[in-house]
Amino acid sequence: MRNGAGWFAAIVWVVLFSAARPVAGADRAPTPITTIFIVRHAEKAATPKNDPPLTEAGRVRAALLSRVLRSAKVQAVYSSGFARTDQTAAPVAEVAGVKTTRYDARHSPALAAVIKRDHPGGVVLVVGHSNTIPGLLGALGVARVEVPVLGDDEYDNLFIVTISENHVSMVRLRFGAPAPQ
């Protein structure tokens, strides 16, 4: 059941709909809810050392991610520009009909600012790395106590961050083949 894209997509939609209630004051319009899906690139090959592509297992995980997010109406996809992140992002971007935008993974606050400025009320996918995702979560406003440390062999995390006018929440899910214990 863990690998079923349909089951997982249903959970994602429950999370989205429960978080997507508009926030409104008595005298103002509802605040748009921005949803950001954040994943680490899928499984990578050992070589070449500086920019390895995905393995077969990684390509399977990337395809599963595109099936899981198919109904999420992703409007923007960001990748750090390495082969492994581009290859993880590509199936989602293709299904969504958008181009992948490259970002500098060393500058999480800049990416967080771009997402908040350019995609209010939108749905965004960011593909990053085990050592950059915690900084991005923090830059988006996730409380420090909720930001995880990711192991170098963890490829199965899917973080869903929702941002409204004055509230940020995060849900951490798992998808595809489990990471080793």
Query: What is the model's pLDDT at position 25?
Result: 54
Which pLDDT band holds residue 57 (cuts at 50, 70, 90)? very high
CA distance 56 to 121: 35
Q: What is the pLDDT of residues 10-28, one digit of tens each?
A: 555 545 544 444 545 556 6
Give the mean pLDDT of 130-157. Answer: 94
pTM: predicted TM-score of the whole model, two decimal places: 0.86
More confident residue, 20 or 115: 115
- Integer CA distances (angstroms), 65 to 5, 25, 116, 140, 142, in order: 8, 36, 23, 22, 23
Pairing between β-strand 34-40 and β-strand 157-163 as defined by DSSP bridges? antiparallel
Of 179, 160, 161, 167, which Cα lies nearest the Cα of 11? 160
Q: At what angle do helices 5-19 and 56-68 cross, to 10 degrees?
A: 50
- The sign one gets for the Cα dihedral 57, 10, 132, 109 is positive
**pLDDT score recorded for residue 166:** 84
Q: What is the mean pLDDT of residues 158-167?
A: 94
Residue 145's pLDDT band, with cuts at 50, 70 and 90, is confident
- The pLDDT of 32-53, averaged and rounded, is 97
- Segment (H or E) for 126: strand 123-128
Residue with tokens 């997507």: 20
48: which DSSP letter? S
| Residue whose structure tokens are 């990416």 | 111
Q: Which domains does the chain have, with CATH numbers?
A: 5-16+34-174 (3.40.50.1240)
